[in-house]
Amino acid sequence: MKKINQVDFSHFKNNEHGQFHTVVKSELIAETPAKLGVIKFFQSYADAVVAELASIEVEQGSQHTKTIEDSDLFRDQLYRSFVLNIKSGLLSYEPEVQNAANRIQRIIDQVGDMRKQAYNLESESLTSFTNQLMNNYAADIALCNATVLLQKLDEANKSFIADFGTRSAEVSTRISGDVRAARVVVDEIFKNICNVTNAMVLLNGEADYSTFIDKVNYQIDYYKNTINIRRSAAKPKTDSTNTPA
């Protein structure tokens, strides 16, 4: 039974994300939303895609965009490093370190994946996260040898907030340039469209939905391959001249 495949948009660049949803919107129009049973979601989806494309234009037009992207990437890397540090504490041979890591891991689990949130929400979540750990779990953090890393994460988040505030002031007279917030809206509606389409296939068979599903899955596979190629190219290559004979 055909269905629209799952896709993780977190690795899509902004332009790739906008292009993907622009194509899907066109395919929806071609197949007609009424035929696919998604007319309830189509207009809000189309409007959200237009809003995202406009936000991307604002991002690209801001001289501070690169600074924001770099700041966000840096704090994400520090957060991942912090999480990995705590996970290593869970495997410690020392019971007190294991117990401390377990208490911190519960806080991490409560927070969830902040990287998928809009910039402002991620900033607020990280601020609350670092404050809670520094104020209430300092001893546990120290046992896990993560005090310096947590301080660096807090500093990186504050730096991002400052950079984002500078960019926001620059574009205050224009439409919002928070592309991540726009992407969240588009992705949520797209998820609803996929769920409804897949359900309609179960109810009515594939005939009316097959073409749309094939075209959407083609786009999903195309961008998955693009991302995989980009990841492979980013990996350091082994120097064959150092390989023993």
CA 28 to the chain's CA centroid: 24
* Closest CA relative to residue 89, chosen from 74, 106, 77, 72: 106
pLDDT tens-digit series, residues 80-90: 899 999 999 99
Separation of CA 113 from chain center: 8
Q: pLDDT tens-digit profile of 168-197?
A: 555 444 444 578 889 999 999 999 999 999
Q: Who has greater pLDDT, 68 or 31?
A: 31
Give dist(CA 52, CA 76) in Å, integer: 22
Q: What's the rounded mean pLDDT across residues 32-59?
A: 90
Higher pLDDT, 237 or 85: 85
Check whether 211 has a pLDDT greater than 50: yes
The pLDDT of residue 243: 44
Asked if 30 and 44 count as a contact pair (C-beta separation under 8 A), the reply is: no
